[in-house]
Amino acid sequence: MRLLVLLVLILTMTAYPQTAPPTVAEAQEFMNKAEAQFAELTVKVNRATWVQENFITDDTEAMAADAIDQITAATTELVEQAKRFDGVKMPADLARKFMLLKLSLTAPAPKDPALRKEMTTIGVSLDSEYGKGKYCRKNGECLDITAIEKIMAHSRDPEELKELWMGWHSISPPMRPRYSRFVELSNQGAREMGFKDVGALWRGGYDMTPEEFSADLERLWNQVKPLYLSLHTFVRAKLVEKYGPNVVPPDGPIPAHLLGNIWAQEWGNIYDLTGVKEDKNGVDVTELLKKKNLDAKGMVKYGEGFFTSLGFEKLPATFWERSLFVKPADRDVVCHASAWDIDNKDDLRIKMCIQVRGEDFVTIHHELGHNFYQRAYKNQPPLFQNGANDGFHEAIGDAIALAITPEYLHKVGLLENVPQGTNDVPELLKQALDRVAFLPFGLLIDQWRWKVFSGEIKPADYNKSWWELRLKYQGMVPPVPRSEADFDPGAKYHVASNTPYTRYFLAHILEFQFYRALCRESGYKGQLNRCTFFGSKEAGAKFNKMLEMGQSKPWPDALEALTGERQTDAGALLEYFAPLKQWLDEQNKGKKVGW
């Protein structure tokens, strides 16, 4: 394979006389060869990394690193060759492919083969180290991230929560020097490609300049910030009631170990502390799943059923044969839920350590959203086989998940009768504790990384700057003093795996835009938060029209195909939560908002 790659590169490099002015025909020929090579190597990387994340060993790490090194080398060389066609006036679709080729690497590598190999080896080792991470208690019990999350979801002992928080965050300090070197090497690669740094490259993938994109994110944050502040104020008061003012300052930031989640990114697990009585007709999805005696695969079948009700074809038989649904007892795997398109055609899979609970039922719908999107654009050319932007990919399944309403649960036989209650606050609060609470966290991770890539945050200040941003956006502080001997960003999978994160912030805005559009297309007229479009072929057809475009057009074109709108906008999210915002503001009267 390596000889084949080198041969293709040599042929590509010598195909055109370097003195002749380039033509559109030559540019098209170059791109045809580049896409064929890119597609072939992508499949190799997909297979190698699938094995590496499902069977974590030194050997599989080496195999994955080798595959990633090959595609990184080939893409880096192709980007360099593509510079020859700068300035050639091309058809829009061809020009778009040249742009996307330059943006295709989230970790651009230096041209030097030794440095490139070093960078990819570091990248794979960080991903694997996260997957193998465990905290061993004094009694000898060793807990992986799945076990830690499970305990933190239910424990209300602040000392135990602090112990677990510190335990998991102890896995990442050894990553710190390698992460710093990874940043240095990938920045060198980005500069050699013509970008200021890796952060500028990441921000370049949104059909606007990096500066325009940063400004657009600030606009969106300012739209949703008042709702987040209302939620933060309410939750902080409830935590003071539970743990006392010595543990939670009544007017200050919230200690990050008390929100029912190791990263304090979603707070739904502490709903019971809010004092909000469940509507007597409320629905507990976890109980419904257990009542049906569903196993992991059975839960995934329901997720598939939502998409087929909209008119999409069933998942292929290989999906059920090759996916990972439960955590194996005999080996380490990366349990972070993910969706895979191995061959860029029909070999769709998910990798997930499913637990029978409502949270995982929602995650399943989210991951399948990736799979159905991947299949919808499989007939696009290789460089267009992606979401309109990365926020779109994350938002698809979440829009479906919003439609997991009591009416939907009744239609699929999980719920006997649809509740007739009129109090929406309990359910909206549950949704907000996850979706609204997540917004600042979704924003700050890349705010930190972009500053790391640009050099504004030096390696000596990694942890200090991390907590400054968590305080600024989330109103969170660590449960114990931290220092630069720690590396708390590395305790989050997406930092260890170098996965861009702003996509999740955008997705939490876009999902409500998609959801509202699908509800309207299905003919729904009522209060937005009660809508399900399950079974609507009309909504499915409109949905598919956007999905099958892939990345072939600028994302505003794709957004318009479904919603009629050309700008990402939080208006639909604010409409969805409007009854809750009014209620929260009433509860917060007399309290300090913010920190």
What is the tens place of the pLDDT at every residue in 143-158?
999 899 999 999 999 9
DSSP structural state of residue 338: E
In which band, very low, low, confident or very high, does the pLDDT at 364 lie, cut at 50, 70 and 90?
Answer: very high
Range list of β-strands (E), 315-369: 338-341, 348-351
Distance CA 331, CA 587 (A): 48
Note the pLDDT tens digit of each residue in 322-352: 999 999 888 888 888 999 999 999 999 999 9
Instruction: Say what the pLDDT of residue 17 is.
Output: 47
In which band, very low, low, confident or very high, does the pLDDT at 69 lie, cut at 50, 70 and 90?
Answer: confident
Residue in this structure with the two tokens 């999210």, named with its chain if needed: 573
In which band, very low, low, confident or very high, does the pLDDT at 176 lie, cut at 50, 70 and 90?
Answer: very high
b/e code 343-355 from CB counts within 10 Å (16+ = b): ebeebbbbbbbbb
Least trusted range by pLDDT, from 258-267, 418-427, 549-558: 418-427
Element (H, E) at 477: strand 476-477
Residue in this structure with the two tokens 């679709």, named with its chain if needed: 93
For residues 358 and 540, the model is more confident at 540
Q: Could you give the dihedral angle defined by the CA atoms of residues 567, 571, 576 and 578, in that order, rounded to the nearest 10 degrees? A: 170
Residue in this structure with the two tokens 């709903």, named with its chain if needed: 271
Instruction: Say what the pLDDT of residue 2 is.
Output: 39
Checking if the pLDDT of 9 tops 70, the result is no
Pick from 179, 214, 217: nearest CA to 199: 214
Q: What is the average pLDDT across 160-178?
A: 96
The rounded mean pLDDT for the chain is 92
Checking if the pLDDT of 543 tops 60, the result is yes
Please say whether the beta carbons of 80 and 379 come within 8 A.
no
Checking if the pLDDT of 216 tops 90, the result is yes
Distance CA 192, CA 201 (A): 12
Structure tokens at 268: 């739904």
Instruction: Say what the pLDDT of residue 193 is.
Output: 87
Please say whether the beta carbons of 443 and 217 come within 8 A.
yes
Distance CA 491, CA 262 (A): 9
Q: What is the average pLDDT across 573-582?
A: 96
In which band, very low, low, confident or very high, does the pLDDT at 18 lie, cut at 50, 70 and 90?
Answer: low
Quote the percentage of the chain above a pLDDT of 90.
78
Phi, psi of 255 (to 5 degrees): -60, 135
Checking if the pLDDT of 282 tops 80, the result is no
Note the pLDDT tens digit of each residue in 463-518: 999 999 999 999 999 999 999 999 999 999 999 999 999 999 999 999 999 999 99
Instruction: Say what the pLDDT of residue 19 is.
Output: 64
Task: Please report the DSSP string for 213-257 in residue order.
Answer: HHHHHHHHHHHHHHHHHHHHHHHHHHHHHHH-TTTS-TTSPEETT
Radius of gyration for the chain, computed over Cα atoms and rounded to the nearest angstrom: 24
Q: CA geometry: angle at 144 spanning 139 and 146, to 5°?
A: 125
Please say whether the beta carbons of 356 and 290 come within 8 A.
yes
Least trusted range by pLDDT, from 224-233, 268-277, 544-553: 268-277
Give the range with max mean pLDDT: 44-58, 92-106, 169-183, 399-413. 169-183
Query: How many Cβ atoms sit within 10 Å of the Cβ of residue 162?
Result: 17
Checking if the pLDDT of 12 tops 90, the result is no
Instruction: Say what the pLDDT of residue 421 is.
Output: 65
Pick from 283, 572, 584: nearest CA to 425: 584
- Residue 375's alpha-carbon distances to 38, 370, 401, 537, in angstroms, are 18, 9, 19, 18
Quote the percentage of the chain above a pLDDT of 70.
96
Instruction: Say what the pLDDT of residue 72 is.
Output: 85
Distance CA 518, CA 311 (A): 14
Instruction: Say what the pLDDT of residue 546 is.
Output: 97
Instruction: Say what the pLDDT of residue 279 is.
Output: 64
Checking if the pLDDT of 444 tops 90, the result is yes
Structure tokens at 197: 């740094």
How big, in percent rounded to 5, are the helix, strand and coil portions of the chain? 65, 5, 35
Number of residues written out for the chain: 595
Q: What is the average pLDDT across 303-320?
A: 96
**List of residues 6+ apart from 30 with CB closer than 8 A:** 12, 15, 16, 81, 82, 85
